[in-house]
Structure 1
Amino acid sequence: MSVRHTEVTVGASDLDPCGKVGHPDCGIRDVLDRVGDKWSVLVIVELANGVRRFRELQRAIDGISQRMLTLTVRRLERDGLVVRTVYPTVPAQVDYRLTETGTSLTHLVKALADWSLDNRATIAEARHSYDTEHPDNDIR
């Protein structure tokens, strides 16, 4: 049965984020791309614990380069999820915190993180089984 079938238990408007079957992505793709990107999620998780300076963020987020962290916090700032505060000191001190909108996102990110932890063993088993059954696959 198709997702677009009109007699399914869940209404089509419940499945389509725009409320209209067949509607183009209705502008949500760019927002989901930002808040769903690996580095943005990790920055949001870290800032959910409070205000952080740049180097604190970099140390807390394993594997992120200085350039990627700079791009990520700038994008989050542009989207209104993070506030960057520069203090008039020498050298300048800069810190980052979540805005009200950014804070409202933390419960969703936490739920995703909790789900990931709860299901990582099952997913690892499924991946192992798939890779065993399909030894020539290049999916990773």
Structure 2
Amino acid sequence: MKQCDHCGSQLEAGQHYCPNCGTMTEPEPSAPPVRCPNCGSTQISAVRREYSPGCGCLGWLLFGWWGLLLGLLGGSDIEMVCNHCGTRWPAGEPQRARSGIGCLGVLLLALLIWVLCNRYLNVWMFGWN
């Protein structure tokens, strides 16, 4: 049998707290650190999603002004963000990790391609300036 380091009372095998004084006899095992599923870093922050500009822009393109409200979807969700590589995933679901430019980036890239093609195809095909 073990003894409590604080008060000296006898402890049963497997007891983690002294029944007399409540002192912890053995340190509780700590949980493993949260790791980024992309790069393995332990520098993780928990952030609350506020508004998704990408979803708002997509909603505006599809549904007009009312579509801007689509950016509010998931506004109360907690996301984990890797401070090293920027990967984001829902808290507790590292298998759903995502990184990259996102919906807003795709929309901006498509807009840029459309503008460039519109400008240069008109000049090339019709000679317009």
TM-score class, shorter: under 0.3
TM-score for both structures, normalised by structure 2? 0.24
Choose 1 or 2 for highest CA Rg.
Answer: 2
Select the structure that is richer in helix. 1
- TM-score norm. by structure 1 comes to 0.23
